[in-house]
Amino acid sequence: MNLYRILTEKPWQHNRLNDAGLADDAVLSMASSPQKIALMFFLGVVAVLFALFITAYVIRMELDDWRPMPESGLLWFNTLLLFLSSIVLQWTRNSLKKGLDRKLKTGLLIGALLTIGFIFGQLEVWRQMAGEGYYLYNNPANSFFYVLTGIHGLHILGGLWVWTRASFRVWSGTDPEEVRLSVELCAVYWHFLLLVWLVLFALISYT
């Protein structure tokens, strides 16, 4: 029964293994492997998805009806916010490893605020583009812009949901050790999404 509970855990959510009678450190290390493997598999699938979209983007832009969208300066600011949120989450992860539990709440809160700022910033870019007449169906370049940024934003929201659940457990008094795996995997996920966004941003800005 305990083995079943471990194998069916969600990729970056670490349940209370003590309740399952798995308090031993060696067992905890083994128990974390399925979550890490699952996250790596998920990131592989997402990477393939974005690779396909990027390939389609590069091929489609060679046709004569392609009209590039103007670059929004706000995208640079949004990129900075996402970069800072990734740094903050890594700092939070390192603090947990060093036993600096008091910094956990601060890191989770600041990281969440930066990420929310990124999401609202992206929505503002959409609003600006629509206000200038660059709608989804006007041109293939417009369609790709909205689709690529939209899919990336949805993955950010998914990660933010897991981040919020981990934060709720911390604020409710859960032992920081019990959310360590969630924080570690969230950090990996955020670094991945930052890398994806940098590729998308470069593609959008220079094509």
DSSP 129-185: HHHTT--TTT-HHHHHHHHHHHHHHHHHHHHHHHHHHHHHHHHTT--GGGGHHHHHH
- On average, the pLDDT of the chain sits at 82
CA atoms within 13 A on the CB side of 1: 3
Q: 2-206 belongs to which CATH class? A: mainly alpha
Domain locations along the chain:
2-206
Indicate whether 28 pLDDT > 90.
Answer: no
Higher pLDDT, 96 or 122: 122
End-to-end alpha carbon distance in the chain: 54
Higher pLDDT, 119 or 1: 119
Indicate whether 26 pLDDT > 70.
Answer: no
Question: What is the three-class DSSP state of 71?
Answer: coil
pTM above 0.85, yes or no: no
